[in-house]
Amino acid sequence: MAMTYFLRDSAFPGNAVMEEEMLEELYRQMLKAARSRLYDKNDAGDVVQEAWVRILEKYDTLRESRKLIPWAKTIASNLASNANRARRSEWLADNCEEYEHVSHSYHGPELIAELSDVLGRLDPATRTLLLYKFYYGFKDDEIAAALDVPVGTVKARIHRGKAKVKAQNQEQPRST
């Protein structure tokens, strides 16, 4: 009941049924936004619950009450992205030890020589782009800003560069 009072929409003064319907719609919209972002859909309820807490904490920062639903959906969506990131980090931490021995075995001189060979066969622009993306870990928008090209161009060039590497790998299979 306190939440209904706290989020009371002045367009429906004293009309508890309308307020309840508005809150139910808000919940449905937030749940939909969270589910659309989450890898594990079972986390949606937790994300929406956390979003309600944030809404209650930050409600005084909402400038226009008619924008409550888009604001709440944005909060839920951002928290869903955070949950995905946290789950990915947990998974990496849990599985890092399991794959640690595998990663050490692949960093030998043979792999470095092979990578140098593959990168050496690429044109300089493609090589630079793939290094920025996969070696240095830059995001597409950061690469686009550095090269002064649109993000879509960067994505397309990365896709074509990966295709070139894959084609080269299929032409010359590794000898193990």
**141: how many CB neighbours lie within 10 A of its CB?**
11
Within the chain, how many helices (H) and strands (E) appear?
Answer: 8, 0
Cβ–Cβ < 8 Å for 54, 75: yes
- Nearest-10 Cα torsion for 168, 169, 173, 176: 140
- CATH number for 123: 1.10.10.10
| Comparison of pLDDT for 93 and 55, the residue scoring more | 55
The answer to whether residues 55 and 23 belong to one domain is yes
Beta strand extents in the chain (DSSP E only): none
| Cβ contacts of 147 within 8 Å, gap of 6 or more | 129, 154
Rounded Cα gap, residues 95 and 90, in angstroms: 8
* Residue 144 included in any domain: yes
Q: Which two tokens stand for residue 70?
A: 């888009």
The answer to whether residues 6 and 83 belong to one domain is yes
* Final residue of a structural domain among 87, 122, 145: 87
* Residue 119 included in any domain: yes
Rounded Cα gap, residues 155 and 19, in angstroms: 45
The answer to whether residues 111 and 48 belong to one domain is no
Rounded Cα gap, residues 2 and 128, in angstroms: 57
The answer to whether residues 8 and 67 belong to one domain is yes
Burial of 44 (0-12, 13-18, 19+ CB in 10 A): buried
* Residue 99 included in any domain: no
- CATH number for 54: 1.10.1740
* Final residue of a structural domain among 87, 121, 152: 87
pLDDT tens readout for residues 93-137: 666 555 555 445 555 677 777 778 888 888 888 888 888 888 888
Structural domain total, the chain: 2
- E strand or H helix that includes residue 5: helix 2-6
* Residue 137 included in any domain: yes
The answer to whether residues 83 and 115 belong to one domain is no
pLDDT tens readout for residues 141-151: 888 888 889 99
The answer to whether residues 78 and 142 belong to one domain is no
How would residue 4 be classed by pLDDT, with cut points 50, 70 and 90? Answer: very low
Mean pLDDT of 155-166: 89
Query: Is the pTM higher than 0.95?
Result: no
Residue 15: give the domain boundaries: 2-87
pLDDT tens readout for residues 30-47: 999 998 888 888 888 999
The answer to whether residues 80 and 135 belong to one domain is no
* Residue 92 included in any domain: no
